[in-house]
Amino acid sequence: MKVDPKLLSDVRKYGEFDVTGCFNCGSCTVKCNLSKDSSTFPRQSMRHVVMGLKDQLNSSLEPWLCYYCGDCSKTCPRQTEPGEAMMTLRRYLTSKYDWTGLASKFYQSAAWEIGAIFIVAAFVLALGVMFTGPMVTDRVELNTFAPVEKVHLFDMGMFVVLSFFIISNAFNMFHLTMYKDKSVKIPISLYITQLKELMVQFATQKKFRECTTSSRWIKHWLIVAGYVTMFILVVVFLGWFQTDNIYPIYHPQRWLGYFATIVLVVFTAEIIYGRIIKRDQIHRFSHLSDWLFPILLLLTAVTGIAVHAFRYMELPLPTYYTYAIHMAIAVPMLVVEVPFGKWSHLLYRPLAVYFQSIKDKAILLQKGG
Amino acid sequence: MESNKNNKIGAAVVLGGGIAGMQASLDLASSGIKVYLVETKPSIGGVMAQLDKTFPTNDCAMCTMAPRLVEISRHKNIDLISLAEVESVKGEAGNFTVTVKKRPRYVNEDKCTGCGSCLAVCPVGKAKAAADGKENKIKPIPDEYNEGLSTRPAVSIPFPQAIPNKAFIDSRYCLYLNSGKCGNCKKACKADAIDFEQKEKIFELNAGAIIATPGYELFDIGSKPEYGQGKFENVVTAIKFERILSASGPYQGKVLRPSDKKVPKNIGFIQCVGSRDHERDYCSAVCCMYATKEALIAKEHLGDQLEIDILYMDIRAYGKGFEEYYQRAQKLGVNYIRSRVPSIEEDPKTKNLIINYLSDNDKKVSKEYDMIVLSTGLLAPKSAKQISGTLGISLNEYNFCNTGSFSPVNSSRDGIFVAGPFTEPKDVPETVTQASGAAAKALSLLSDVRGTLVKEKEYPPEKDITGQDARIGVFICHCGKNIGGVANVPEIVKYASTLPSVVHAEDNLYMCSSDAIDKIKQKIEEHHLNRVVVASCTPRTHEPLFKNTIREAGLNEYLFEMANIREHCTWAHMHEPEAATKKAMGLVQMAVAKSRLLEPLYRQFVPINQDCLVIGGGIAGMVAAMEVANQGFLVHLVEKEEKLGGGARKLHYLLGNDKPQEYLNDLIKSVSSHEKIMVHTGANIESFSGSIGKFKTIINSAGTKQEFEHGATIVATGAIEHKPSEYMYGKNKKVMTQLEFEEKLSTDAQLKPPECVVMIQCVESRNDERPYCSRICCGTAVKNALKIKEKFPDTGVYVLYRDMRTFGFMESYYTKARQKGIVFAIYNNEKKPELIESNNGNLTVKYFDSTLQENIEIDSDYVVLSTPVTPRPENKELASMLKVPLDQNKFFLEAHIKLKPVDFATDGIFLCGIAHYPKSIKDSIAQAGAVAARAGAILSKKFIETEGAISVVNEAKCIGCGTCVTVCPYNAPALEEVTVTVEEVTYKTKKSKINPAACKGCGSCAAACPAGAITASHFSSKEIREVIDAFDRGVRSVSIEKGVVEVTV
């Protein structure tokens, strides 16, 4: 295993990687409830970076198995921040998985990331100017202004394109972490039998509950649930969701929408507030990407609510303009964050849990055989 | 400066009576400086007094320390001021006015004899009901000496060997002082020493110098919630465990755990508690070794059934004998586990402790212990800030006193010197060394007023007792209730008066009290006594007092004999009064028998040559020479090379900003231009003879011989850097030692930025051939690694090590190095790193990383080997010439590893610098100062006063076999050629001659002499036989009935 002395400085481009006096004592790993003997972290991951073991680092799943509860940082006798270091490694790995190189640009440069958001926003607004229908002013007719079929088509198109990027990146992740790992022989069947793990993890993020601060799990789960609900409503059921009909309050379209937007608003606001006041150990550092994702999500939700409110109040022009703004926020957020940014952990993390469970099983089988 | 000279005061104030303060006081006082030793506690002794044993020799701490405690209490030039603090310091170096505040002891120190009667009657803190039958509501008082594991009354003597050995009333708890009720102690004190009216006293002292040795504080685990904040009963600090191990401790030396007083089956030690963390970026320097010591002693007590784990990060066994000690502990079954334990949990039922740690190979391990010992770190004393304010000296960020790399004992204020852990965490020998170094500084400062304030005692002319029959006086002490409460003292007096030659016998409540002393003198006059026997306590503490007493009455001090009827009798037979009385009579009988044969003995006064020889012109030798010369003595500095400077000439930089070459050049200049230093370069020692006060040396400098005499000798011959044979050293130019690399880094202007540099620690060190740790290599590696990063920030630096031993404040540089991205990786000694050379000469270092369980390869432009400092090969020759020993590693061996770190067993020869053991420049300078103080103590006297009771050779019986020469630990006997005439035949032969200046009167030679030619005076065969006969006769038929004793002799 050859070392690359430049690895540490490379990793540091992706955020805090403070090795302030880390003397490799392992207190962080002992205190981590998620660290198991088959996949120990944060010490080992930090060690890979400090030593310059690039291949080891790139092929590691551990950064994704960390939910950043901050216990490691609290227990560290040297006030090194292993938790934040793991966060930085997730950014680093996201960039390593991304073959376009955009993730790396976005994480390393605020100009790139914010610029990209504005360019996509401008693109969305330009599309709006080109393809929107007339603005009916005597009553609210959103579907005349932005015909639902066109928007749905756009949504679907975007879904396909973004899916292509993130899935190809996920394939890279598979390649680096599973395919190249020759230390254990993995029977193909395990990929199928362990699929359950992927599903469960994606749906529940139950690993998060093993952290000592399990209260964060419910917040996180609610945000994900809100997000997924909204995603399904917009991508699959847009025709039903974006309608000029006002459904009665007990109708699922109404309460699902309310549920999703309320949890998104409340908990993204809570996250942003926590970062502003640096409430916990985990909030000591905030990378630009840590701010952008919740802020864009919050703005998306707030503008979505506003569209709904204006329509309810029968204010046609505010409805249309807010809708345009809503799209100009939601679309860049998705384009930038899904395959190239923080959103991607929605896929990488369950994948990592899935891959790790496959490896663990394979090792068990190997031992048994 | 001439005007100042007259204002200088030949006295010094020493702040703090721990081992550092004690050493500084003794050094100063024996060089003619009056010492005021100011101690805040009721007794001096410091933390060392609490220790059971000391590493790495497992010597009993109190046994090595007690003689010094006694020496302090007896020294006529030391005023011990206990319970006192310094309020303010005015003036300047040479003339300070120190205001001292002394808190009341509520006991008259002049009257108290330390008998302890008051302790027994004090009702405070006792579980039993008070006199009125009601339950005592006052909480027990935790005994500070036993770290709260036992309790004490409100009036107490801190520990049995306390100095001053006087009771102390703690006003926080005393009933009388708080409510006006009780006063039991006052009633019980037969010496009338209790004084509730005592008030705080404020007074001024004038002194030319101040030495601050306030010691340290141990980290308080109350601030560690993860370790239970002291609420888990079976989690104890190491100092508590030290008390548990101690025979004088709360469990009488039985290893028990506090919760249920059961013998623990396993004990875990957690290291670095309160050190090496983000708040305290320093290493406490002693914890690895004290944990090892406590583990060994606990195992000694409990044997193999006790399992001990020491959970550590790096074992810092860096001092002389430490690494060997650590190896021994491992062999004896102490488990060392590399890990840092983040927290402890207690099982509430069993009170066992559970910890989790990460093993070396990254596995989580959970383990349960019966007991956990926390190796708490050293902090600056709580009073540091206040001391810094009063003294006007600066502190570092951790509140330790600031000192410089080249001035280890200087505070930031002129005339105020510092020593001990107040300057940096350190162990006993370094503390003692530094204290002597501080004393040397004060001696230099006050050299021209030396002896102006000390008292020389005047005695009346001695009575001639030649031809007189023995007239023995026997004085028997009750020692309060210590003796009198067990044995029947009046009957012993009666018995004594029946013994042959006894003309007077009497008893006294306290024979050591000043009225009793006066009475002894009076009786000597009255009864024309010519021998005196005192039967009381141990001669160790009290014999000098009584010897002095009879001298004051005009008797030779050797006409005195002592019987220990307390420690040897009433304490041992507390519950057998009759047997104790009989035994005491026997002891008195034996003492009387011997005293009949006592002869006056005289101390000799051997004149001293006041010059000094320093061998070795490196930093240690030059500093020693400067310090001795500054005290006003002529120094011969002998250096075998043509230039002064020694090994330090190769050092280009140090950790921190200090520039060693600037310092070295300044030092060489001052040494060369000093009017009291004669520099002999290019010179070898050709012969060496003589003894303390009168050595004779011949040096050879390029064929020219020169002979001179000197009173003291200092060995500072340095050491060398080992050149290894491993790792292609000498074969590949890219492989070099640390010194060579430092040279390259500092002087090679063409040096291109390397991609990567690998350093390998412990090369050919800590192995079978060289089992010792070379102490400085870890710091050197950090230093050179930082230098690389400073010059070439992009160069990768990897340091492969076994334990990083950056003890003390060096730790912060280790931290800095890690922050700079220098990689430190552990290699296992069983799988040493390998060096692979490719065809084009490029180097790759390969090693197994146990944390990652991976073979790691590092392509390296340079491979730097940290090789040990090794002793000079010529040490052997010099040692045999000087008749001083070498240790097993061939460094010079000091007299006592703890308390005499710079002395040789042979008087008058001293040791400093890396000839003793590898060490930093700072430590070498401190040691050089220390030898100067020790040498100064000899040179400042005109004569050496020898022992009176020494061995003498009967030349007629001596066969010249030389057995005495071999057995003597002090090099006192020597064979000399004499011309003998027997029955008109004259021939030359060799006879033994004992140098009175060197002889300590131990009697080894007398016992060993096959011809019976040697007599140990005061312990002659005749005297001993007489004592044995007296014992043999026994105390015949004693019967005590109704207080009437019938004795048949």
A170 CA to chain B: closest CA distance, Å? 26
What does the alpha-carbon distance between residue A230 and residue B815 come to, in Å, rounded to a whole number? 49
In sequence order, the 6+-apart residues with CB closer than 8 A to the CB of B279 are none
Give me chain B's average pLDDT, please. Answer: 92
List the structure tokens of B141.
């008082």
Q: What angle do CA B431, B434, B438 make, to 5 degrees?
A: 135
Interface with chain A: mutation pick from B362, B812, B861, highest number of A CBs within 10 Å: B362
Q: Note whether A3 contacts B858, CB cutoff 8 Å.
A: yes
Q: Closest by alpha carbon to B629, among B647, B650, B648, B614?
A: B614
Q: Note whether A21 contacts B281, CB cutoff 8 Å.
A: yes
Measured between CB atoms, which of A5, A9, A21 is closest to B819? A21
Is B1039 part of a structural domain of the chain? no
pLDDT of B41 strictly over 90: yes
* B827 shares its domain with B707: no
Quote the pLDDT of residue B482.
85
Check residues A73 and B140 and name the one with the higher pLDDT: A73
Quote the pLDDT of residue B681.
96
pLDDT of B1037 strictly over 70: no
pLDDT digits (tens, 9 = 90+) for B343-385: 999 999 999 999 999 988 889 999 999 999 999 999 999 999 9
Contacts of B825 in chain A (CB under 8 A): 51
Split at pLDDT 50, 70, 90, the class of B2 is: very low
pLDDT (average), residues B221-241: 94
A138 and B CB contact within 8 Å:
no
* B169 shares its domain with B135: yes
What does the alpha-carbon distance between residue B508 and residue B1009 come to, in Å, rounded to a whole number? 43
List the structure tokens of A288.
């630009």
Torsion sign (Cα): B690, B691, B693, B697: positive
A67 CA to chain B: closest CA distance, Å? 19
Please answer whether residues B381 and B41 qualify as being in contact, where contact means their C-beta atoms are separated by less than 8 angstroms: no
B342 CA to chain A: closest CA distance, Å? 5
* B321 shares its domain with B420: no
Contacts of A44 in chain B (CB under 8 A): 362, 851-852
B821 CA to chain A: closest CA distance, Å? 7
Is B111 part of a structural domain of the chain? no
Contacts of B854 in chain A (CB under 8 A): 1, 53, 56
Q: Which residue of A has its CA nearest to B226?
A: A75
SS3 label, residue B1036: coil
B358 and A CB contact within 8 Å:
yes
B226 and A CB contact within 8 Å:
yes
Quote the pLDDT of residue B777.
97
pLDDT of B621 strictly over 90: yes
Number of domains in chain B: 7
Split at pLDDT 50, 70, 90, the class of B127 is: low
Is B558 part of a structural domain of the chain? yes
What does the alpha-carbon distance between residue B736 and residue B727 come to, in Å, rounded to a whole number? 9
Contacts of B819 in chain A (CB under 8 A): 19-21
pLDDT (average), residues B1015-1038: 85
pLDDT of B3 strictly over 60: no
Q: Note whether B226 contacts A2, CB cutoff 8 Å.
A: no
pLDDT of B1043 strictly over 80: no
Contacts of B795 in chain A (CB under 8 A): 5
Please answer whether residues B495 and B591 qualify as being in contact, where contact means their C-beta atoms are separated by less than 8 angstroms: no
* B647 shares its domain with B770: no
Is B544 part of a structural domain of the chain? yes
Backbone phi, then psi, for B711, in 5-degree steps?
-90, -25
Q: What one-character DSSP code corresponds to residue B222?
A: G
Q: Note whether A56 contacts B854, CB cutoff 8 Å.
A: yes
What does the alpha-carbon distance between residue B928 and residue B627 come to, in Å, rounded to a whole number? 8
Q: Note whether A5 contacts B796, CB cutoff 8 Å.
A: yes
Lowest mean pLDDT among A285-294, B123-132, B909-918: B123-132
Q: Note whether A43 contacts B358, CB cutoff 8 Å.
A: yes
Give me chain A's average pLDDT, please. Answer: 91
What does the alpha-carbon distance between residue A4 and residue B756 come to, in Å, rounded to a whole number? 10
Instruction: Tell which A residues from 269 to 328 touch B, by Cβ distance under 8 Å.
Output: none
Q: Which of B379, B407, B437 is the last residue of a domain?
A: B379
Please answer whether residues B556 and B595 qualify as being in contact, where contact means their C-beta atoms are separated by less than 8 angstroms: no
Please answer whether residues B701 and B658 qualify as being in contact, where contact means their C-beta atoms are separated by less than 8 angstroms: no
What is the domain extent for residue B624? 607-712+886-943
pLDDT digits (tens, 9 = 90+) for B699-722: 999 889 999 999 999 999 999 999
A22 and B CB contact within 8 Å:
yes
pLDDT digits (tens, 9 = 90+) for B791-844: 999 999 999 999 999 999 999 999 999 999 999 999 999 999 999 999 888 999
Position A6, amino acid: K
| Beta-strand pair B217-218/B378-379 | antiparallel
B755 CA to chain A: closest CA distance, Å? 8
The enclosing H or E element of B514 equals helix B514-527
Quote the pLDDT of residue B1036.
59
Measured between CB atoms, which of A1, A24, A43 is closest to B854? A1
Please answer whether residues B22 and B419 qualify as being in contact, where contact means their C-beta atoms are separated by less than 8 angstroms: no
List the structure tokens of A224.
């994900």
B834 and A CB contact within 8 Å:
no
Instruction: Output the CA–CA distances (angstroms, integers) from residue B808 to A25, B340, B684, B802, in the order listed.
Output: 19, 19, 37, 18
SS3 label, residue B197: coil
A1 and B CB contact within 8 Å:
yes
* B965 shares its domain with B929: no
* B734 shares its domain with B855: yes
Is B877 part of a structural domain of the chain? no
SS3 label, residue B503: strand
Lowest mean pLDDT among A213-217, B555-559, B674-678, B985-989: A213-217
Contacts of B856 in chain A (CB under 8 A): 1, 3, 51, 53
Q: Note whether A22 contacts B818, CB cutoff 8 Å.
A: yes
| Beta-strand pair B353-358/B364-369 | antiparallel
Please answer whether residues B216 and B378 qualify as being in contact, where contact means their C-beta atoms are separated by less than 8 angstroms: yes
pLDDT of B133 strictly over 70: no
Quote the pLDDT of residue B132.
52
Q: Note whether B856 contacts A3, CB cutoff 8 Å.
A: yes
Quote the pLDDT of residue B135.
53
Residues of chain B by 3-state class (helix, strand, coil), percent to 5: 30, 25, 45
Quote the pLDDT of residue B6.
62
pLDDT digits (tens, 9 = 90+) for B564-597: 999 999 989 988 999 999 999 999 999 999 999 9
Instruction: Tell which B residues from 858 to 887 touch A, by Cβ distance under 8 Å.
Output: 858-859
B337 and A CB contact within 8 Å:
no
Is B655 part of a structural domain of the chain? yes
* B827 shares its domain with B838: yes
Quote the pLDDT of residue B711.
96
Measured between CB atoms, which of A5, A22, A30 is closest to B756? A5
Q: Which residue of A has its CA nearest to B821?
A: A50
* B676 shares its domain with B740: no
pLDDT of A213 strictly over 80: no
What does the alpha-carbon distance between residue B975 and residue B966 come to, in Å, rounded to a whole number? 11
A361 CA to chain B: closest CA distance, Å? 18
What does the alpha-carbon distance between residue A19 and residue A49 come to, in Å, rounded to a whole number? 10
Measured between CB atoms, which of B343, B362, B855 is closest to A40? B362
pLDDT of A58 strictly over 70: yes
The enclosing H or E element of B1016 equals strand B1014-1016
Give strand ranges (E) for B286-334. 307-312
* B358 shares its domain with B406: no
Measured between CB atoms, which of B313, B343, B849 is closest to A25? B313
Backbone phi, then psi, for B88, in 5-degree steps?
-155, 155
A72 CA to chain B: closest CA distance, Å? 10
List the structure tokens of B99.
């205001």
State pTM to two decimals.
0.90
Q: Which residues pair with B944 in a beta bridge?
A: B606
10 Å Cβ neighbour count for B347? 12
Contacts of A79 in chain B (CB under 8 A): 278
Split at pLDDT 50, 70, 90, the class of B173 is: very high
B345 and A CB contact within 8 Å:
no
A363 and B CB contact within 8 Å:
no
Say which CATH number the domain at B731 has: 3.50.50.60
* B386 shares its domain with B433: yes
| Beta-strand pair B266-273/B472-477 | unpaired
pLDDT of A244 strictly over 90: no
Q: B831-866 in b/e burial notation, b at 16+ Cβ within 10 A?
A: ebbebeeeeeeebbbebbbbbbebebebbbbbbbbb
Split at pLDDT 50, 70, 90, the class of B969 is: confident
Quote the pLDDT of residue B544.
86
B810 and A CB contact within 8 Å:
no
Please state, for a pLDDT cut of 90, what percent of chain B lies above it: 80
Is B247 part of a structural domain of the chain? yes
Split at pLDDT 50, 70, 90, the class of B160 is: confident
Say which CATH number the domain at B493 has: 3.40.50
pLDDT digits (tens, 9 = 90+) for B254-310: 999 999 999 999 999 999 999 999 899 999 999 999 999 999 999 999 988 999 999
Q: Which residue of B has its CA nearest to A78?
A: B278
What does the alpha-carbon distance between residue B226 and residue B872 come to, in Å, rounded to a whole number? 49
Walk me through the domains of chain A, giving residue ranges and CATH numbers.
7-97 (1.10.1060.10), 102-368 (no CATH)
Q: Which residues pair with B374 in a beta bridge?
A: B237, B270
pLDDT digits (tens, 9 = 90+) for B5-30: 568 999 999 999 999 999 999 999 99
B364 CA to chain A: closest CA distance, Å? 6
Q: Which of B344, B379, B414 is the last residue of a domain?
A: B379
**Full strand arrangement of the beta sheet holding B735-737:** B735-737, B862-865, B756-760, B796-801, B823-826
B805 CA to chain A: closest CA distance, Å? 13
pLDDT (average), residues A121-146: 91
Is B993 part of a structural domain of the chain? yes
* B588 shares its domain with B688: no
Quote the pLDDT of residue B320.
95
Q: Closest by alpha carbon to B709, among B690, B725, B728?
A: B690
Position B460, amino acid: P
* B856 shares its domain with B756: yes
Instruction: Tell which B residues from 260 to 299 touch A, by Cβ distance under 8 Å.
Output: 272, 276-278, 281
